[in-house]
Amino acid sequence: MANTDPIRVGVLFSRTGATARVELSQLLGTLFAIREINDAGGINGRELVAVHHDPQCVPSQYRVLAERLVCDDRVNVIFGCYMSSTRKAVMPVVEKWQRLLLYPTPYEGFEFSRNIIYTGAAPNQNSALLAAYMTRNFGVRVYLVGSDYIYPYESNRIMSDFILERPGGSKLGERYVRLDATEADFAPIVQDIRAQRPDFVFSTVVGKGTRLLYQAFAEAGLDPLRMPIASLTTCEAEVSEMGAPSAAGHITAAPYFQAVDSAANRSCLTRFQAMYGDEVAPNMCWEAAYFQVHMFARAMQKSGSDEIDRLLPHLLGSEFDAPQGRVRIDPSNHHTRLYPRIGRVGTDGRFAVVAESHLGVDADPYLVQHASNDWSLRGEAFGDIGA
């Protein structure tokens, strides 16, 4: 008799806390894919069942709940994590128990675990294009603002290298705010930005602070058409929270925006809206959360097991027609081939894609392919990055 037991998978995204808004979109992207798989008959006739816990954006809670998913709920695969601090909290758990984490968020790179699949962008897939686009269109004097944890520190270090290697490149400030920062924390930073007059601001502020930064920028009368904020994480989730007046004119690098012009993307957005309405704004993290579940399901269809040693040979090297384009998991580093894009928010509060790579770009998480004087050439490699 065929095995018809349900397959339980762990889901670790937060519904409350600093980055809950984007994590809720990742949660619904995950559940959406699970529903599609089950509606199509499950995996070899077996239903996929999500076991979700809410770690409330606290890294130690991710570790505790990952352990619970493995030891009590008996799952082999976990879809989860937004902040890099939370991925780093889960990594020892999946390594200890030989389980698999699929992680759908852009991050700072410089990491490999046999027990993690990375489906968000690494720095060569977002920061490199952003540096090329911003320096070409605005200038080489940058001011860095970030949240106080590992992803902003590391991303600012990488962006600083990209900028300082350009002729005249300079860093006019580097400031960090707590994850629970308030308006009062951003006011002096925006005052300093106004005094320093950089060519652009690079923000690695995540979660609730994002709205506060962009609103403080607007209230100070700074002009995003001349001095925009550039980001790797400010996506449709944050823009829908801050509103068009604060967001218009600002820039984000990501592999996916709702505006991606393809029938596959439009169809996916329509199907999602039919099931989940407007509860969340689809964005790059939602999209990665969605396609990674489908990639897992296809691999398991072939392996017949979600046990890591049986699953990995089918997941690694696999490809999928995601809303952003055809993606592929690189067997050598567990990262994903993605499509670097630049989006700019219009007065309607929606991103328009202003530059994009029509070819998928493999992840280079340790930036080993790139000589230190090679950054400007790397911009050229992306083709038209806009004028």
Q: Which stretch binds ligand ACM (CB under 6 A): 102-110, 241-249, 270-278, 361-369?
A: 102-110
Nearest residue to ligand ACM on Cβ basis: 151
Q: For residues 88 and 141, which CB has a smaller minimum distance to ligand ACM in the complex?
A: 88
Report if residue 107 touches ligand ACM, rule: CB under 6 A: yes
Q: Tell me the per-residue interface mask from 73 to 92 with ligand ACM, x by CB under 6 A, - otherwise.
A: ----------xx--------
| CA–CA separation, 24 and 13 (whole Å) | 7
C-alpha neighbours within 13 Å on the C-beta side of residue 44: 16
| CA–CA separation, 318 and 328 (whole Å) | 6
CB of 103 to ligand ACM, least distance (A): 9
| CA–CA separation, 313 and 299 (whole Å) | 8
Q: For residues 150 and 264, which CB has a smaller minimum distance to ligand ACM in the complex?
A: 150
Q: For residues 46 and 87, which CB has a smaller minimum distance to ligand ACM in the complex?
A: 87
Q: For residues 107 and 217, which CB has a smaller minimum distance to ligand ACM in the complex?
A: 107
| CA–CA separation, 319 and 286 (whole Å) | 18
Q: Which of 381, 357, 279, 239 is nearest to 25 (CA)?
A: 279
Instruction: Look at the block and give the residue holding tokens 């969340």.
Output: 280
| CA–CA separation, 178 and 185 (whole Å) | 9
CB of 140 to ligand ACM, least distance (A): 25
C-alpha neighbours within 13 Å on the C-beta side of residue 113: 21
CB of 383 to ligand ACM, least distance (A): 26
CB of 248 to ligand ACM, least distance (A): 23
Residues 275, 248: contact at Cβ < 8 Å? no
Residues 44, 314: contact at Cβ < 8 Å? no
Binding residue (CB under 6 A) for ligand ACM from 233, 240, 258, 357 = 233
Q: For residues 42 and 109, which CB has a smaller minimum distance to ligand ACM in the complex?
A: 109
Q: In sequence order, which residues have a C-beta less than 8 Å from that of residue 61 and are 6 or more positions away?
A: 55
CB of 154 to ligand ACM, least distance (A): 9
Residues 207, 237: contact at Cβ < 8 Å? no
CB of 155 to ligand ACM, least distance (A): 8
Q: Tell me the per-residue interface mask from 175 to 214 with ligand ACM, x by CB under 6 A, - otherwise.
A: -------------------------------x--------
Q: For residues 160 and 233, which CB has a smaller minimum distance to ligand ACM in the complex?
A: 233
Q: For residues 138 and 366, which CB has a smaller minimum distance to ligand ACM in the complex?
A: 366
CB of 120 to ligand ACM, least distance (A): 7
| CA–CA separation, 4 and 225 (whole Å) | 57
Q: For residues 59 and 224, which CB has a smaller minimum distance to ligand ACM in the complex?
A: 59
Which conformational region is residue 277 in: left (phi greater than 0), alpha (psi within -120 to 50 degrees), or beta?
left
Identity at 250, one-letter amino acid code: H
Residues 303-322 that bind ligand ACM (CB under 6 A): none
Q: For residues 159 and 248, which CB has a smaller minimum distance to ligand ACM in the complex?
A: 159
Q: Which of 362, 321, 300 is nearest to 79 (CA)?
A: 300
CB of 6 to ligand ACM, least distance (A): 31
Residues 268, 325: contact at Cβ < 8 Å? no
> To 5 degrees, how large is the angle CA 339–CA 378–CA 343?
40
Q: For residues 233 and 357, which CB has a smaller minimum distance to ligand ACM in the complex?
A: 233
| CA–CA separation, 329 and 253 (whole Å) | 20
Size of the site for ligand ACM (CB under 6 A): 8
CB of 363 to ligand ACM, least distance (A): 14
| CA–CA separation, 224 and 205 (whole Å) | 17
Residues that bind ligand ACM (CB under 6 A): 83-84, 105-107, 151, 206, 233
